Chain A
């Protein structure tokens, strides 16, 4: 074996060695980068949060409520204070809608006089029960599952709700299945 081919073989071994080291390092790096996704699967982001006493929500009315997102850091500041619309239908029947328009997520506003939610961005409108009235949204408002515990209204929340095909499981569950 000539000296040159010996060195070439060493070079190959060195390259292979670095490839192995690189691959080993890639594992933690990729897991670190994907952690926001993997976290969603394992412990999950959602939990039951109280919106306060049900007395705050008079029957037949729709009111704005806010909650602190269950997964929040100090650095989040006000961004972790999430608003939602609470509609007290009657007795123990509620509907809790996400603030985000089902089109592209802008904040919808409730107009009790006309019984409509209107979106300021692209003009989506929804009826008082959250169903689509007009405009670009392809569906009604997102709803949080709710339950009443010790006179307090609780919702299962923690994720930004988006219109994707397999978006949050929330939007598929009937609103009262867990009450």
Chain B
């Protein structure tokens, strides 16, 4: 009785909507047998996580206040006062990381399986824009977590934007919505994160999926089965119709299992690790801060530290344009031929190279050896073995080493900054005279301390530095002098 009623309501609706037949047809469309594979689950998983982001995003918007003066407080309320507010924040934060990760994995899989080749060029191009939007969501989302990192991160974004020739300053004002990082800035990032990018994302996802259905999912690449524009469609038709299987349920159950598993893992991460931040209040007067970007932008942080200054602006401004052009043009200059990664060594090496480079940069950025340790001079004492048995003058030098912040950039016994070289064995590398010159005049990326050290301090400091050599190894000496002779 009840079943019949449901069926009648369904029929009544379908008579008017007429969606039943096309949906059934889509779900039943034939796919090549091999593509019902665990390698083909990343696209649907990305879409599922996007769904999670939409739901948790709306839930957060119920409490969040997009105002520079209130946003940080509303995050505290979410974390501590609203029941399970912390969990929804954690789901959204971890969902964001997983979405970026899955989109990247999906892209690598599509690239290695040659799925971007004819006739799926447009699917790939839409995918590139989906990647950009996903990264855009990640960055704007980091800004909405309006804390110290967000505030100074915006400053970094503005500083990069300002380097665009001619229109740079105008771009900065457009980005900030005014002369400084303030209320208008947060409001426009809120509009981007909540309306503009998700709206475009939904439209592009719809087109992307429509193309997958219309053009057909990429067949499993077989070494030697080449793509040719002339006969590809016929071959694909044969593949789907002679040995094809209906998408539902052959392919879709694996999608469903993987998506469910990903949601479960996100929930587990959210439960175990909790939400991200917020860090300190976005008060520019609190300058005791070392801003760090979120995980997926750490590689960029490393790049900005390691590039030679003269290359920085060109790389920042031209690099992304070249990368985008290469990605967009890829299906056109490599639209035919071999699909299998087994016969495409350059493709595999490219992926490996990019992965190793990004991994290395990310790893470096999590240590940030280029940043001075701002409190090493007060917070990190010189290890005892570097001062025991030294003369009073040398001990005085060690004090100068601490009080003049040398320790912020130079490590002793692995403790201290890594901006400059570790000084554990500096006396082996430099003679007394060379040490004096280096300290007073600087050079090689070291500031000159001539104005800030009096002669007594310099003498003491160099006396201390001269003791820094391994016990079995003599200190460097001026080769033009006889042993024991003073210059």
User: Could you tell me which A residues sit within 8 Å of B by CB distance?
Assistant: 33-34, 36-37, 39-40, 45-46, 64, 66, 69, 71-83, 99-100, 103-109, 111, 113-116, 118-123, 125, 127-128, 133-138, 158-160, 162-168
Contacts and interface: CB of A to CB of B under 8 A. Distances in A.
Interface stretch (B174-182, B323-331, B339-347, B476-484): B174-182
Given A75-B67, A106-B155, A123-B370, A135 B180 contact: no
A164 B172 contact: yes
Interface in B366-418: 370-372, 374, 377, 403-406, 408-409
B445 A164 contact: no
A119 B67 CA distance: 28
Contact of B447 (A75, A80, A134, A138): A134
A40 B176 CA distance: 12
Nearest to A77: B69
Given A36-B178, A104-B304, A114-B404, A167 B442 contact: no
A106 B156 contact: yes
A106 B164 CA distance: 19
A123 B159 contact: no
Interface stretch (B29-37, B105-113, B135-143, B286-294): B286-294
B180 A69 contact: yes
Given A73-B184, A166-B168, A113 B447 contact: no
Which of A39, A72, A75, A119 has the largest number of chain B CB atoms within 10 A? A75
A42 to B, nearest CB: 13
Interface residues of B, number: 71
Nearest to A138: B309
Given A105-B159, A133-B442, A165 B165 contact: yes
A136 B162 contact: no
B290 A36 contact: no
A158 B408 CA distance: 33
B155 A134 contact: no
B166 interface: yes
| 8 cross-chain pairs, A with B, having the tightest CB-CB distances, nearest first | A77-B69, A164-B162, A105-B155, A133-B447, A162-B162, A45-B179, A75-B183, A164-B168
Contacts of B172: 160, 162, 164
Interface of A, secondary structure class, is: loop
Contacts of A77: 67-70, 183, 282
Interface stretch (B205-213, B232-240, B428-436, B448-456): B448-456
Contact of A160 (B166, B180, B283, B370): B180
Given A81-B285, A133-B448, A76 B159 contact: no
B152 interface: yes
A167 B165 CA distance: 10
A48 to B, nearest CB: 15
A107 B289 contact: yes
Contacts of A103: 159
B372 A100 contact: no
B370 A114 contact: no
B305 A79 contact: no
B254 interface: no
Contacts of A66: 285
Given A133-B442, A159-B179, A160-B180, 11 more contacts: A37-B174, A46-B179, A77-B67, A78-B283, A81-B285, A104-B304, A118-B374, A120-B289, A121-B156, A160-B179, A165-B168
A40 B180 CA distance: 11
Which of B166, B404, B452 has the largest number of chain A CB atoms within 10 A? B452
